[in-house]
Amino acid sequence: MNQRLALGTFAVLLAVIPLIPGMPVFWVTLLGNVGLAALVAIGLVLLTGVGGMTSFGQAAFCGFGAYATAVLTATHGWSPWQALPVALAVSGFAAVVLGLITVRLSGHFLPLGTMAWGLSLYYLFGKIEMLGRHDGISGIPPLSVFGISLADPRAAHYLIWTVVIGAAILTTHLLDSRIGRAIRALRRGQIAAESFGIDVARTKLIVFVYAALLAGLSGWLYAHVQRTVTPAPFGLNAGIEYLFMAVVGGAGQIWGAIVGAGLVTLLKEALQRVVPAVFGTSVQLEGVVFGIALVALLQVAREGLWPHIVGLLPARQRAAPKPADLLARRAPVAGTDSALEIGRGEALLVLDQARKQFGGLVAVNDVSFKVRRGEIVALIGPNGAGKSTTFNLITGVAALTAGTVRYDGVEISGTSPRVIARHGVARTFQHVKLNPDMTVLENVALGAHLRGRAGILAAMLRLDRRDEARLLAEAAHQIERIGLGEHMMKPAGSLALGQQRMVEIARALAMDPELLLLDEPAAGLRHFEKTALADLLDRLRAEGMSVLLVEHDMGFVMGLTDHIVVLDFGTKIAEGPPEAIKTHPAVLEAYLGGAA
Ligand SMILES: Nc1ncnc2c1ncn2[C@@H]1O[C@H](COP(=O)(O)OP(=O)(O)OP(=O)(O)O)[C@@H](O)[C@H]1O
C-alpha cells in the first residue's frame, strides 16, 4: 500500500463513517469538528512548522470568517455562498494588516505579538454591538449544495472533509514548488534566500495570509454548521490548541495537521467524560490532565506523530527524479555564455572609497578596487582585515558608512541583497548557509528562484510543472558541474562541510550570475577537491564570468587569480598580479610581521 493508496483509504473511511448503520450523530459531528480544526492546523503547519513563525492568534482569523458570514447571512439575508468571498476577504485583509505589523518581529516578540492580537480580538468580538457582544449571533442559515441542505451534520461532514483534503493537497503542492522552496527557506536561510532574489518579507506575508485564509474558511464553515457564533471559540485558548494540533501532528507535516487535530479534539472530548468520572465533578481537572498528556506526548514524539505514522507505511513509491531525466529537460539559457563574452576586460564591479564603521571600529577603511569582466580577483588579508565586511557591503547585507559600490555602471550601494541579486551577483557564505533538511537539488534550485515564473496559484494547481522541471534541470546541471551528482537527492545537511561549500557554489551558479562572490570557497576542501574547484573557476573565467573570492589558502589564490587586493586592519595595503603581491613588502609585513 503506497501513500496515495493510504490517502484513498482514509478518504473512503471518511465517506463510509456517516453511512454506518447506528452511527451516532454525535460522533459524526465530532469528526466534522476535527475537520474544521484540521483546516486551521494545516495553515499553522505552513506558518509555524515550515515557515518558522509561531502564531498563538490563529483562532482570531476563524472569528473574522465566522462573524463576517454570520452578519451577512443572519442579519442581512445573504446566502452563505455569497458571503464566502467576503468572509475570506475579511480574514485575508485582517491578516495583511496584522501580518505587516507582526511578521517583521523576530525571536520571542513574534509569538508575543500574535498572543497580543489573539487576546485583544477576542475581547473586541465580545464588545461590538453588531456582533451581538458576548451572546454572539444566532439564526445563521445552514449550507446547501445544489439545493441539498447540509443542516444534518452527516451531510455537512462531506463538505467539511472535501475542503480539508483539498486544502491539504493544494498546500502539499504549494510546498513542492519554487514558492514552496522559498517558504521552506524562511526558517533557516533568510539571508541566503534574500541573496538569491527571494523577497523574504513578502514570502512571510504570503504564508501569513494563506494560513489566515484557511482559518477564515474554517470559521465560515463553522458558522454554518453550528448556526450560531460567540467569541469563545476564537480566543487565545483556542489559538493555543490549534498550535498544539500543528505541533503534535508533526510541525512541518501537512498531513500531520489532520492527525494532530484528530488527536487533540478526541483527547479533549475523552477527558471531559473520563476525568469527572474518576475525580468527581467538583474539581475541574480536565484542562490539567489535557496539558500533561500533550506534554508527555511531545516528550515521546518530539517531531510529532506524523513521522511515526509514515514509518508504518511502506516506503514512498514515488521515485525521486533521476539526475539524467532532470538534465534532459534542461533548456539552454538564452544569451548567457555568449553574453558573458561581451565587454571582457571592462570594469564590472567598482568599489570607490568604500567605508564601514561599527561604532568606533573602522572595519573597511575607504577601500577602492575593481573587478573586470572575465577576471578572477582575490581579496586577501589576515584575520579581521575586513574581507567579509567588504563582501557584505558589495552584496547589500551591510550598509556603507561612506563611499560607493557600482555594478556595471549602476550604483548598487544602499540597495538590498535581493535587488543586487537581480543585477546578476551571486554569492557563497563564509559560514555555509544551506537548508540542511532540504535536498541538495532543492537547495541549488533555490539559487534559480529568479529564473522561474510560476506563482502561488500555479503551484497549488500544479500548473507550474514545466517551469519547475526547467528549474530542477538547471539545478541538476550545476550539481553535476561541481561533481556532486551522486548526492543530488540527499539532504544537504548530510554532506561533509567541504561538499556543502561546493553545493553553495552550485546554488550561486544556478542563478546564472555575471559576477560570483565566493567567501573562503576552499576552506574544508581536500586537496583533490581544491584542484577540481580551481578547474571549475578556470572554466567559468574562460566562459567570461567574473569572480571575486576571499580565501586564506595562498597556494590556491596565487595559482588561480588574475589580480589580488590585500587588506589589513580594514585598509588596502596593496593590489596587483599574484607575482607582485608575493614579494610586496607591505604584504609580507602584514602576514609575517617583523620576520619579513
Ligand atoms: N557586525 C559587526 N559589528 C561589530 N564589529 C564587526 C562586525 N562585523 C565585523 N566586525 C569587525 O570588523 C572587523 C573586520 O571583520 P571581518 O569579518 O570583515 O574580517 P575578515 O577579514 O573577514 O576576517 P576573517 O578572515 O577572520 O573572516 C573585525 O575587527 C570584526 O570584529
- Residue 497 CA to residue 454 CA, distance in Å, equals 32
Q: What is the mean pLDDT of each run of 10 residues along the chain (596 residues)?
A: 79 93 93 97 94 92 97 96 98 95 83 91 92 94 92 94 96 96 87 90 95 98 96 93 91 90 92 83 77 82 82 60 63 50 80 96 96 96 93 94 96 92 93 92 95 94 95 95 93 93 95 95 90 93 94 93 95 95 90 60
User: What's the 394 CA to ligand 1 centre distance in angstroms?
Assistant: 15
Per-residue pLDDT, 318: 47
Alpha-carbon span 47 to 546, nearest angstrom:
39
- Distance in angstroms (rounded) separating the CA atoms of residues 222 and 201: 31
Cβ of 385 closer than 6 Å to ligand 1, yes or no, is: yes
Q: Are 516 and 424 in contact (CB under 8 A)?
A: no
Ligand 1 centroid–CA 387 distance in Å is 8
Spatial separation of the C-alpha atoms in residues 346 and 326, rounded to whole Å: 36
Amino acid identity at 437: D
pLDDT for 337:
46
Domain 345-424+513-595, CATH 3.40.50.300 — does that match?
yes
Cite the beta strand spans of 520-586 per DSSP E. Answer: 546-550, 563-568, 571-576
389 Cβ below 6 A of ligand 1: yes
Phi, psi for 567 (deg, rounded to 5): -110, 150
Report the alpha-carbon distance of residue 519 to residue 428 in Å, rounded: 6
Residue 65 and residue 216 in contact, taking contact as beta carbons nearer than 8 Å: yes
Question: Running DSSP on this structure, what letter comes out for residue 485?
Answer: G
Q: Is any ligand 1 atom within 6 A of the Cβ of residue 399? A: no
Distance 191 CA to ligand 1 centre (A): 17
Residue-level pLDDT at 315 = 58
As given in the structure block, the three cell numbers for residue 117 are: 492580537
- Sign, CA dihedral 406-407-411-412, equals negative
**Alpha carbon of 52 to those of 9, 185, 244: distances in Å?**
32, 9, 15
Classify 462 as helix, strand or coil: coil
In Å, what is the CA distance from 168 to each residue of 64, 405, 452, 578?
22, 46, 24, 58
The total of other beta-carbon atoms located within 10 Å of residue 87's CB is 27
- pLDDT at res. 147: 87
Nearest alpha carbon to residue 445 among 181, 171, 207: 181
Residue 148, strand partner residues: 145
Contact of 69 with 87, CB cutoff 8 Å: yes
Atom of ligand 1 nearest to the CA of 389: 18
CATH 3.40.50.300 residue ranges of the chain are: 345-424+513-595
Model confidence, pTM: 0.88
Q: Are strands 148-149 and 402-407 parallel, antiparallel or unpaired?
A: unpaired
Q: Give the model's pLDDT for residue 596.
A: 43
CA 376–ligand 1 middle distance (angstroms) = 23
Q: Which three cell numbers stand for residue 195?
A: 541573496
Q: For residues 119 and 589, give the distance between their C-alpha atoms in angstroms, rounded to a whole number.
A: 64
Q: Point out the ligand 1 atom lying closest to the alpha carbon of residue 567.
A: 21
Q: Are 571 and 389 in contact (CB under 8 A)?
A: no
Query: How far is the C-alpha of 507 from the C-alpha of 495, rounded, in Å?
Result: 15
How far is Cα 264 from Cα 383, in angstroms, rounded to an integer?
54
Task: Check: CB of residue 237 under 8 Å from CB of residue 252.
Answer: no
The CB of 361 under 6 Å from ligand 1? The reply is yes
- Rounded CA separation 274/269 (Å): 9
Rg (CA), the chain: 29
Atom 5 of ligand 1 has which residue's CA nearest to it? 358
Residue 151: partners with Cβ closer than 8 Å, 6 or more residues away: 142
Q: What is the pLDDT of residue 20?
A: 93
Ligand 1 proximity of 282 Cβ (cutoff 6 Å): no
Phi, psi (rounded to 5 degrees) for 262: -65, -50
Structure ipTM: 0.97
Instruction: Return the residue whose CA atom lies nearest to atom 4 of ligand 1.
Output: 358
- What lies within 8 Å, CB to CB, of 456 at 6+ separation is 174, 179, 206, 210
Distance CA 253, CA 243 (A): 13
Distances (CA, A) of 528 to 39, 498, 524, 532: 52, 11, 12, 6
Angle between helices 200-226 and 80-102 in degrees, nearest 10: 140
Q: Which atom number of ligand 1 is nearest to the Cα of residue 358?
A: 4
- Report the Cα 387 to chain-centroid distance in Å: 29
pLDDT of residue 317: 46
Q: Which of 96, 297, 305, 370 is nearest to 210 (CA)?
A: 96
pLDDT for the residue 155: 93
User: How far out from the chain centre does Cα 530 lie?
Assistant: 32
Ligand 1 centre to CA of 400 (Å) is: 14
